[in-house]
Amino acid sequence: MLGVFAPWGRGKSYLLNRVFDVLNTRKDENAKKYNIITFNAWKYQDTPAIWAYLYECLYKCATWWQRLFLQLLKYFCSTSFWFFIFVIALSCILKYCTPMFTETLSKYNSILTDFWWSPPLIAFVFSILHTIGNNPIKAFKIINKYTKRRTYKEHLGIQNDIEEDLARLITSLSWRKGKVLLLVDDIDRCSTDKMVNIVDSLRTILENKTIREKLIIICSIDVEKLKNGYINAFPSNISEEKRKILAREQIDKLFIFTMGLAPLGLSQQQEYMRKIMNIKGADGNPYIENTLIDTGRQEGALYVATDVEEEPKVLSDFDIYKEVSIYLKQHKINATPRKLRIIYYQILFANNILSKSGTGISNSFISMLLSRSLGVNEEFSNDTALGDVIDMAVPY
């Protein structure tokens, strides 16, 4: 499960739709393919039934042959199908064995011969026996009640009932298209407690091994609202500082990778206003700017202003390993394996953003990023040079 974090209205859906356009129009035969589906969490925020809503959303995106395949597969896996196969097989066996006993059963031979050739009649008889077995007389009911292994399946709810069907549906949707890429949008339009329940439910879906291998979930969400939801979910007798740490750890458990959209700097806000107002430059042509990184936040913000004498460099995996090791040793931090994996992805992502703008990455930048990621410096200011990149790589 991946997270795209920013306040509501910042442009998360717009960004993801642009990304999906790129994925859908790639012509490289070796490029991974995805079946991209959007699910509106706000529209279906009844969390006890979100699995059912999700199933319906995915089912509507299936082709007619995928739906036919699902119906056949469901029938082949049903008790009725295997009961029918059993009856036919038994009929054939009895028909084959009948001549072997003709001498002993000579007077019943004509009856048996006709009987074995009547599978529907056998199916009817077995159906009656099956019905009687499921609806025994009172004495059998009492015996069955206290000797049969007790099951609590009826208490597992809608999730248990629909999980297998959902796994088969996602398998069908991913055929010939790689994985299913599910965008869950408008989560932050729900109330705080609903948000927490929806995100937890979506993460639970991935606990199914079949689903996890074929599905990627992207949640578009306001991370501050999500954090507050988890902070409020913990008991009030825990200190606020501890609840903040627990909320951060909870988000780490949910998302293996996150990307934030940094707040717009003044130059970016001006650029957007010029675009929607169609304001042109002095020469009559539209303004052409590239403010991927907001240079208006600090003089020379495209470069690492805190390391004037340090030459920016392209990181190798060994460089990342060395810098993270030094930082953990200096600050005596005991990071979990999952947190180390998240940190690795965050540094790679920040390096990709900087390289896109022709900028390298420095040791001090990595140190700032780690401070933010590990909670060493909660009061990190995004007015710092390249602070917007850190906001994107470490959004919570």
For the 2-73+159-260 domain, the top CATH level (class) is alpha beta
Average pLDDT over residues 367-373: 88
Average pLDDT, the chain: 76
Q: Name, in order, each residue with C-beta under 8 angstroms of 231's C-beta and a sequence gap of 6 or more.
A: 240, 243, 244, 246, 247
Residues 230, 199: Cα–Cα separation, whole Å: 11
The reported pLDDT for the residue numbered 304 is 41
Residue bearing the bigger pLDDT, 18 or 77: 18
Return the minimum-mean-pLDDT range out of 11-25, 159-173, 186-200. Answer: 159-173
The reported pLDDT for the residue numbered 139 is 41
The reported pLDDT for the residue numbered 105 is 54
Q: Where are the domains of the chain?
A: 2-73+159-260, 80-154, 267-393
pLDDT digits (tens, 9 = 90+) for 218-247: 999 999 999 999 998 888 888 888 998 899
The reported pLDDT for the residue numbered 361 is 77
Q: pTM for this structure?
A: 0.71
pLDDT band at 137 (very low <50, low <70, confident <90, very high): very low
pLDDT band at 146 (very low <50, low <70, confident <90, very high): very low
The tokens describing 69, both together, are 């395949």
pLDDT band at 69 (very low <50, low <70, confident <90, very high): confident
Average pLDDT over residues 161-183: 82
Average pLDDT over residues 188-202: 87
pLDDT band at 183 (very low <50, low <70, confident <90, very high): very high
Highest mean pLDDT among 126-140, 146-160, 343-357, 380-394: 343-357
pLDDT digits (tens, 9 = 90+) for 280-330: 766 666 665 555 555 445 544 444 434 444 455 567 888 889 989 999 999
Residues 233, 231: Cα–Cα separation, whole Å: 5
pLDDT digits (tens, 9 = 90+) for 157-169: 566 667 878 888 8
Residues 168, 38: Cα–Cα separation, whole Å: 19
The reported pLDDT for the residue numbered 79 is 64
- 3-state DSSP helix/strand/coil % of the chain, to nearest 5: 60, 10, 30
Q: Is residue 212 predicted with pLDDT exceeding 60? A: yes
Q: What is the 3-state secondary structure (H, E, C) of 141-183?
A: HHHHHHHCCCCCHHHCCHHHHHHHHHHHHHHHHHCCCCEEEEE
Percentage of the residues of the chain whose pLDDT score is greater than 70? 66
Q: Is residue 132 predicted with pLDDT exceeding 70? A: no
How far is residue 364 from each of residues 139, 176, 186, 304, measured CA to CA in Å?
79, 45, 36, 8
Q: Answer yes or no: are the C-beta atoms of 199 and 226 closer than 8 Å.
A: yes
pLDDT band at 73 (very low <50, low <70, confident <90, very high): low
Highest mean pLDDT among 18-32, 123-137, 301-315: 18-32
Q: Is residue 390 predicted with pLDDT exceeding 90? A: no
The reported pLDDT for the residue numbered 202 is 87
The reported pLDDT for the residue numbered 198 is 87
Q: Is residue 270 predicted with pLDDT exceeding 90? A: no
The reported pLDDT for the residue numbered 316 is 82
Average pLDDT over residues 44-70: 76
Residues 362, 365: Cα–Cα separation, whole Å: 5
Residue bearing the bigger pLDDT, 65 or 230: 230
The reported pLDDT for the residue numbered 215 is 92
